[in-house]
Amino acid sequence: MTVAQKDWPLNKPFKISREVSTHSETIVCEITDGEHTGRGEAAGVSYNGETIESILQQVSDVADEVQGGVTREELQLIMAPGGARNAVDCALWDLEAKQAGKSIWELIGWNPNPVTTVYTVGIDELENMQKDAATHAEYPFIKVKVGIGDPIAQIAAINAGAPDSAIVIDANQAWSVADLEKYAGTLKIMGVEMIEQPMNREEDEDLRNYDAPLPLCADESCATSADLERLQGLYSMVNIKLDKTGGLTEALRLAEQALSMGFELMVGNMLGSSLAMAPSFVIGQKCRYVDIDGPLLQSEDCDHAMCYDNGVVQVFNPELWG
C-alpha cells in the first residue's frame, strides 16, 4: 500500500459559512497485489479536525494490517469513520473489482444510470453569485451556499441568473430556528426545494418542534448509520458523504438503513477529482439529490475523468475506478 497527497487547484476561491478554500487537498491510496492496483481518493472532514497530515498518519497506522490482507468488513473495525478509512476502503473495492474481473455494479448487483448533479454556487458578492448561476443556467439544480449575508437577496440573484434551475441551499450549521422561521417560508415561495444542515449539529434537538415548510437535510449531523435514530423527527433527508462514512462500505449500509427508516437521500462531496466522485456516484443511484460537482469547481481533473454535461453525469469508465 502506498499513499500520497494530491492537491487540486480550484477555479476560484470557494466560500462557505465557516471557511474559504483555494484548492482541494486530498490523499490518494493505492493497494496492489502485484498484478492489480486499487485506488481511492479522500479529502477528510475538516470540521471534525481532520487534516491531510492526520489522515496520512491514520493510513500509516494500519499499513501492516492492510498489507496483511484485511477485508473491507475488518477495516470497519480497525479504523474510525473519516477520510483515511474512505481512501483505503475505496481502494479495496477497486482492487476487489479488478481481481474479480467484474465492475462495481456486478459486485453489488445494481444496474447503473446517469445521474444529475447540482452545481454549487459559493458565498460571494451578489453580482458574482448571479454571474456564476448564469454561467450554469442549463443545470437543472443549483445548490447555493448561505449562512453569511442575506439569503433572500442571494436567492433572488440566483433566480435572476438561472431562472429555470431548481434550487437547494446549504447553511453549513450557520443558522438557528429563528433564522429558519424568518427565511424558510419566503425561500420556498422563491423556489427553494430543500435546506441542508441549517443548524449547528449540537443544537439539532431545537428542530424537534419546528414545523418545517421545506425538507431539511442532515449533513454535518449525519456521518454514519449510527446517527440515524437520533435524527428521526428532526430531518427528513440525510446527506451521505464518503469522507464522513469512511468509505463506500458504510455508505451502502447507511443508505439502506436510512431508506428503510423513511429518510430520503442526498449524496455529497468534500471536493476532489473524479476518482473521489466515482464511489459517490454509486450512492447517487439511490438519491433524490446528487452533489458530486467537485471536479467542476476545480481547474483540472484526474485521468479517465467522469463526463459532465450541464449537470448530467454519465456512468464512469471502469478505467477510472471500480
Tell me, what's the pLDDT at 184?
Answer: 97
Tell me, what's the pLDDT at 13?
Answer: 76
pLDDT band at 163 (very low <50, low <70, confident <90, very high): very high
**β-pair type (216-218, 192-196):** parallel
Can you name the CATH fold of 2-101?
Enolase-like; domain 1 (3.30.390)
* pLDDT higher than 80, residue 6: yes
Per the listing, cell 477528510 goes with 44
Tell me, what's the pLDDT at 281?
Answer: 98
Q: Which residue has the higher pLDDT, 95 or 24?
A: 95
Averaged pLDDT score across all residues of the chain? 96
Lowest mean pLDDT among 13-27, 103-117, 167-181: 13-27
- Residue pair 40/28 in contact by the 8 Å Cβ criterion: yes
Question: In the chain, which ranges are continuous DSSP H helix?
Answer: 52-61, 63-67, 72-78, 83-100, 104-108, 126-135, 151-161, 177-189, 228-231, 242-245, 248-260, 274-284
Q: How far apart are CA 177 and CA 204, in angstroms?
A: 10
Q: What residue ranges do the domains of the chain occupy?
A: 2-101, 115-313
Phi, psi angle pair for 122, to nearest 5°: -80, 170
Q: How far apart are CA 243 and CA 275, in angstroms?
A: 13
* pLDDT higher than 90, residue 293: yes
- DSSP letter at 82 equals S
Quick: pLDDT tens for 123-140: 999 999 999 999 999 999
- Residue pair 225/178 in contact by the 8 Å Cβ criterion: no
Quick: pLDDT tens for 140-150: 999 999 999 99
Tell me, what's the pLDDT at 93?
Answer: 98
User: How many other CB atoms sit within 10 Å of the CB of residue 7?
Assistant: 11
User: How many other CB atoms sit within 10 Å of the CB of residue 201?
Assistant: 16
Tell me, what's the pLDDT at 18?
Answer: 73
Do the first three CATH levels of 2-101 and 115-313 match, i.e. the same topology?
no
Q: What count of residues does the chain have?
A: 322
| Residue % of the chain over a pLDDT of 70 | 100
Nearest partner of 236 among 253, 221, 218, judged by Cα: 218
**β-pair type (308-309, 312-313):** antiparallel
Tell me, what's the pLDDT at 318?
Answer: 96
pTM (2 d.p.): 0.95
Quick: pLDDT tens for 19-78: 778 878 999 999 999 999 999 999 999 889 999 999 999 999 999 999 999 999 999 999
CATH class belonging to 115-313: alpha beta
| Residue % of the chain over a pLDDT of 90 | 95
Tell me, what's the pLDDT at 314?
Answer: 98
Q: How far apart are CA 71 and CA 67, in angstroms?
A: 10
Tell me, what's the pLDDT at 193?
Answer: 98
* pLDDT higher than 80, residue 120: yes
Tell me, what's the pLDDT at 15?
Answer: 75
Tell me, what's the pLDDT at 12?
Answer: 82
Tell me, what's the pLDDT at 310?
Answer: 95
* pLDDT higher than 90, residue 160: yes
Nearest partner of 28 among 305, 297, 304, 273, judged by Cα: 273
Tell me, what's the pLDDT at 82?
Answer: 98
Tell me, what's the pLDDT at 59?
Answer: 97
Tell me, what's the pLDDT at 21?
Answer: 82
